[in-house]
Structure 1
Amino acid sequence: MAMFEVAADAYVRFMGTFSGPLARLFADVGLAGVEPDAPVLDVGCGPGMLTAELVRRRGAPLVAAVDPVASFVAATAAAHPGADVRAASAETLPFADAAFGATLAQLVVNFMSDPAAGIGEMRRVTRPGGRVSACVWDHGGGRGPLSPLWRAAASLDPDLTGESSLPGAHGGDLVALLDAAGLREVRETELSVTVPFARFADWWEPYTLGVGPAGGYVAGLDAAARDRLAAALRAELGDGPFTVTGVAWAASGVV
């Protein structure tokens, strides 16, 4: 997770415009059929985009969240002082068996060191009849919010693979993980978020902050290569205003 060892506000500027709206759609999936007084867990919470939505719906005392990045944990804990926010990885959740009515992982399975173990841990801490859910952008189908960047980069560097090979990036990936963990009634759906940008610079600038694989790729380019990439993207998207749509695969199952 070193690619996410950044300040919380950098991540928010990079992905928050998409992950905030996505959290509202994903919470509908992850809380479906879950008792209103059941505690819920946000796995890989980042700076708390999904945590905020869960707190809004459940109240902070019923929400727990974990992330391995210290700056994200600090930001989420500060924003939601009544929630149980801890530093931990998905593969070693610091909670008892059957502690939650629902566990949710938004945009994190693709970055787990062991996705099968992470989903297994989510199942372990979820009570019988509770719900385990995960979502990942459709990088494999070229429909994620980062897909314009990776397409343009690949046009300049044909050997580049982007994030399409990461776990969960294709339809059916998350279903297979949840099925293998022994979850029942596993279903997959698509979640779509459209975000407007007034200027090209508003969309491009967050990529220069070094967040995640895309930000790391941009940061690793020399100035001339970075300018070529920005020019290719500007030619595709225009100077603005324009909109970018991100589609995520979401899968959910019952313990």
Structure 2
Amino acid sequence: MGFFTTAAGNYDRHIGRYGPALAPELIAAAAIRPGDHVLDVGCGPGALTAALLRHGARVSAIDPSEPFATACAERNPDADVQVGAAEALPFAAATFDAALAQLVLNFMADAEAGVRELARVTKPGGTVAAAVWDYGDGMTILRTFWDAAKTIDPEAGDESQMRYCTPDTLGALWSAFDDARVTEAVVRASYDGFEDLWAPLESGVAPSGAFTVSVSPERRAQLKREFRSRLGVTDDPFELTARAWVVSGRRP
């Protein structure tokens, strides 16, 4: 996941700008209560961590990207933040009241192992929950980006091809939990204009940014024009919507 070793600010300006709006949706789905001890797995620069702290939770957080974990710790000094992977969490069994994973499940090297680890460190009866984008239809910026990318490279990778980004696959992954369910959450993000949206892609952040910097300057200019045209936006401020699937269940 080298495309997540960039500076945290690049992620903040790209998909990270949706994180603060999505975090309360995940917290609500997981029924987090003030005082709960919650683990934020794949915390990134800390959008969910911050929301959990505001909610009154006690928070531990972990991310495999050192720049992201450092940013999360600096922004959330009241949280215990570590560097590490979901598949090998450095916590004792039954430590947390809940374990949450926002926008990381489908980037885990082994999602099934990662979910088992989330369950292991959660107390019996505690909640394990995650949110992933609806890459196929509903996450406007990414769906439009990949549709534009395919006009210059029909073989361009597409995040909708990753596992665990549909209600059925998420439900199957959560089949061992009690009261498992998948709901949707639609959030919004604001942009000052198209250049505000485009600039972080040039940093190589996330799969979309990695694709952007991998093509020649001529094809990148073509991609930029096609992307802007498909979005139908100008240099004036605008908003885009993004749909996420939220899965939750209780550890038996």
The more displaced of 81-90 and 159-168 is 159-168
1:219 aligns with 2:213: yes
Alignment map for 1:35-184 (pairs within 5 Å): 35-59=33-57, 62-141=58-137, 143-179=139-175, 182-184=176-178
The more displaced of 104-113 and 167-176 is 167-176
CA distance in 1, matches of 2:25, 2:123: 23
1:95 offset after TM fit, Å? 0.7
Identity of aligned residues (%): 41
Task: Give the CA RMSD over aligned residues.
Answer: 1.4
Report what 1:5 is aligned to: 5
Report what 1:189 is aligned to: 183
Flag structure 2 segments of 5+ consecutive residues without an equivalent: none
Report what 2:222 is aligned to: 228
Task: Return the TM-score normalized by structure 2.
Answer: 0.94
1:126 offset after TM fit, Å? 0.6
1:142 offset after TM fit, Å? 5.3
User: SS state of the match for residue 206, structure 1?
Assistant: helix
CA distance in 2, matches of 1:111, 1:68: 11
1:238 aligns with 2:233: yes
Is the CA contact (8 Å cut-off) linking 2:180 and 2:250 kept in structure 1? Answer: yes
1:19 aligns with 2:15: no
Q: Which amino acid in the other structure matches residue 40 of structure 1?
A: V
Report what 1:200 is aligned to: 194
1:251 aligns with 2:227: no
Is the CA contact (8 Å cut-off) linking 1:144 and 1:248 kept in structure 2? Answer: no
Q: Which amino acid in the other structure matches residue 224 of structure 2?
A: A
CA distance in 2, matches of 1:227, 1:39: 47
Is the CA contact (8 Å cut-off) linking 2:33 and 2:56 kept in structure 1? Answer: no
1:36 offset after TM fit, Å? 3.2
CA distance in 2, matches of 1:242, 1:36: 35
Task: Return the TM-score normalized by structure 1.
Answer: 0.93
Is the CA contact (8 Å cut-off) linking 1:145 and 1:247 kept in structure 2? Answer: no
CA distance in 2, matches of 1:161, 1:142: 18
Q: How many residues align?
A: 249
CA distance in 1, matches of 2:87, 2:129: 15
Is the CA contact (8 Å cut-off) linking 2:101 and 2:131 kept in structure 1? Answer: yes
The more displaced of 163-172 and 225-234 is 163-172
Flag structure 1 segments of 5+ consecutive residues without an equivalent: none
Is the CA contact (8 Å cut-off) linking 1:134 and 1:250 kept in structure 2? Answer: yes
Is the CA contact (8 Å cut-off) linking 2:13 and 2:197 kept in structure 1? Answer: no
